[in-house]
Amino acid sequence: AQTVTQSQPEMSVQEAETVTLSCTYDTSESDYYLFWYKQPPSRQMILVIRQEAYKQQNATENRFSVNFQKAAKSFSLKISDSQLGDAAMYFCAYRTDSGGGADGLTFGKGTHLIIQP
């Protein structure tokens, strides 16, 4: 079974600074998908960014980018120019590409990101 580990229960960053959230995962599969979801206090789950394992290029979405190291099974999220609205729980998630198509996400335990004004 796949596991996802987020080793930082909480991170704090000054507004406008850059912060990196770490995520490692364990899998024996070669094809899979990785996601970062954000959960603000409203508790709505919001997709931040996704990465296909077969793509070597790191995904980028505006101020959010990932550092995907497939051999190291690492998938960190970098948030540049942090804003107050970025304060939330961030979850790293794994999804197999076994072909079943109805696979659930395997989540890490989350990192609580605090933005200091």
Partner 1 sequence: DTAVSQTPKYLVTQMGNDKSIKCEQNLGHDTMYWYKQDSKKFLKIMFSYNNKELIINETVPNRFSPKSPDKAHLNLHINSLELGDSAVYFCASSPYRQSYNEQFFGPGTRLTVL
Calculated CA dihedral for residues 8, 67, 37, 80, nearest 10 degrees: 80
50 binds partner 1 (CB under 8 A): yes
Say if residues 46 and 56 touch (Cβ distance below 8 Å).
no
Q: Does 114 bind partner 1 (CB under 8 A)?
A: no
β-strand 60-61 against 10-14: which pairing, if any? Answer: unpaired
With contact defined as beta carbons under 8 Å apart, do 23 and 2 qualify?
A: no
Q: Which stretch binds partner 1 (CB under 8 A): 22-30, 60-68, 79-87, 97-105?
A: 97-105
Instruction: Give the x/- contact pattern for partner 1 in 51-90, rule: CB under 8 A.
Output: -x------------------------------------x-
The H-or-E segment that residue 89 falls in is: strand 88-96
Tell the smallest beta-carbon distance from residue 16 to partner 1 (Å): 27
Q: Where on the chain is the footprint of partner 1 (CB under 8 A)? A: 32-33, 35, 39, 42-45, 47, 50, 52, 89, 91, 95-97, 99-107, 109-110
